[in-house]
Amino acid sequence: MGGFGEVWQLLLKNGTDLHTSFFYSDIKNTSTFALRILDMNEFNLNESIIMREKAHTNIIKIYCVFKGYQILINRQRENEKKESLCFLLELADTSLEKLFCDKRTVYNLNFVRLTLLEIANIMSYIHKPNIKQEFYIYRDLKPDNVLIKGKKILITDFNLSRKVDQDFEFLMSQCCGTKGHLAPEQKSVCYDKNVDVWAFSIIISKFLKHQNFHYFSHCMYDINLSHFEIQEEFLINLLLAGIEDTPFMRPTFEEIFRLLFNEIIRNELEQNTRLKMMNIFNYKKKRKEIKP
3-state secondary structure 90-104: CCCCEEHHHHHHCCC
3-state secondary structure 199-254: HHHHHHHHHCCCCCHHHCCCCCCCCCHHHCCCCCHHHHHHHHHHCCCCHHHCCCHH
The pLDDT of 169-188, averaged and rounded, is: 71
**Whether pLDDT at 225 is above 80:** yes
Band of pLDDT at residue 87, cut at 50, 70 and 90:
very high
Residue 104's pLDDT is what? Answer: 78
- The Cα–Cα gap between 149 and 94 comes to 7
**pTM of the predicted model, to two decimals?**
0.84
Least confident window among 94-108, 143-157, 225-239: 94-108
Please tell me the chain's helix, strand, coil percentages from 3-state DSSP, rounded to the nearest 5. Answer: 45, 20, 35
Q: Which residue has the higher pLDDT, 130 or 264?
A: 264
**Whether pLDDT at 218 is above 80:** no
Q: Which residue has the higher pLDDT, 144 or 171?
A: 144
Residue 1's pLDDT is what? Answer: 36
**Whether pLDDT at 126 is above 50:** yes
Q: Which residue has the higher pLDDT, 220 or 120?
A: 120
Structural domains in the chain plus CATH codes: 6-90 (3.30.200), 94-266 (1.10.510.10)
Cβ-Cβ contacts under 8 Å for 155 (sequence gap 6 or more):
58, 59, 60, 119, 122, 123, 126, 138, 141, 145, 146, 147
Q: With beta carbons less than 8 A apart as the criterion, state whether 33 and 91 touch.
A: yes
Give the count of alpha carbons within 13 A of 38, CB side only. 23
pLDDT tens digits, one per residue of 182-193: 888 888 777 889
* Residue (of 3, 5, 91) closest to 45 by Cα position: 5
Mean confidence (pLDDT) of the chain:
84
Residue 22's pLDDT is what? Answer: 47
Q: How many of the other CB atoms lie within 10 Å of CB of 74?
A: 9
pLDDT tens digits, one per residue of 23-43: 555 666 677 899 999 888 877
> To the nearest whole percent, how much of the chain has pLDDT over 70?
85
From its phi and psi, is residue 253 left (phi > 0), alpha (psi between -120 and 50) or beta?
alpha
- The Cα–Cα gap between 123 and 258 comes to 13
Q: With beta carbons less than 8 A apart as the criterion, state whether 43 and 74 touch.
A: no
Question: Counting Cβ atoms within 10 Å, is residue 85 exposed (0-12), middle (13-18) or buried (19+)?
Answer: buried
Band of pLDDT at residue 3, cut at 50, 70 and 90:
very low
The CA-CA-CA angle for residues 236, 201, 267, to 5°, reads 45
Q: With beta carbons less than 8 A apart as the criterion, state whether 141 and 163 touch.
A: no
Residue 118's pLDDT is what? Answer: 97
The pLDDT of 105-123, averaged and rounded, is: 93
* Sheet of strand 146-149, all strands in order from the earlier edge strand to the far edge: 94-95, 146-149, 152-155
Band of pLDDT at residue 283, cut at 50, 70 and 90:
low
Residue 25's pLDDT is what? Answer: 58
Least confident window among 244-248, 254-258, 260-264: 244-248
- The Cα–Cα gap between 59 and 141 comes to 13
Residue 112's pLDDT is what? Answer: 95
- The Cα–Cα gap between 140 and 136 comes to 12
* Residue (of 9, 284, 43) closest to 161 by Cα position: 43
